[in-house]
């Protein structure tokens, strides 16, 4: 399989931390083990991951240190990007613009999210929008 360059929306990370039985957890578990799956990160996205995860830490059953360990791991395996252009707002939710900006700057083929409608504009940039389950099917991890 060729490289799969993706940006994970915050809701995919949170879903993967919330349950060990879903597609999001399975996707997170593949990171670092399947080198062809390459995630891309920016400082604003990591800060959003951290903010949302720490706010929900108690209901996720995780400590702040657990969350920091997950984020450190993601940062260690990801391609990190500085975003030098901002053309917001393009999407309905301006917080999603940073995800799209990162995907465009990184030349990613897809954004993995559970809010597919929020990223409909991504197709104009040649970026597919898919759920964790859809992504796993596409790479042959699910039937």
Per-residue pLDDT tens for 80-125? 999 876 665 566 666 788 899 999 999 999 999 999 988 988 998 9
**What are the helix (H) ranges across 1-114?**
10-18, 23-30, 43-55, 57-60, 64-77, 94-106
In which band, very low, low, confident or very high, does the pLDDT at 3 lie, cut at 50, 70 and 90? confident
Report pLDDT digits (tens) over 24-78: 999 999 999 999 999 999 999 999 999 999 999 999 999 999 999 999 999 999 9
Looking at the structure of the chain, the number of domains it has is 1
Partner residues linked to 8 by β-bridges = 112
What CATH number is attached to the domain comprising 84?
3.40.50.1010
Domain containing residue 50: 4-138
pTM: 0.93
Residue 143 domain flag: no
Tokens of 25: 């957890």
Predicted pLDDT of residue 66: 98
């Amino acid at each position: 399989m060729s490289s799969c360059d993706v940006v994970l929306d915050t809701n995919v990370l949170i879903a993967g931390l919330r349950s060990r039985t879903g597609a999001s957890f399975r996707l997170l578990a593949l990171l670092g083990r399947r080198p062809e799956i390459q995630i891309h990160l920016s400082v604003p996205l990591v800060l959003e991951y951290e903010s949302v995860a720490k706010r929900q830490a108690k209901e996720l059953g995780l400590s702040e240190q657990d969350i920091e360990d997950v984020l450190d791991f993601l940062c260690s395996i990801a391609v990190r990007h500085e975003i030098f252009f901002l053309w917001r707002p393009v999407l309905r939710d301006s917080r999603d613009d940073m995800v799209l900006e990162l995907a465009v700057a990184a030349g990613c083929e897809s954004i993995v999210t559970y809010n597919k409608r929020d990223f409909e504009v991504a197709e104009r940039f040649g970026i597919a929008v898919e759920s964790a389950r859809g992504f796993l099917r596409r790479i042959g991890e699910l039937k």
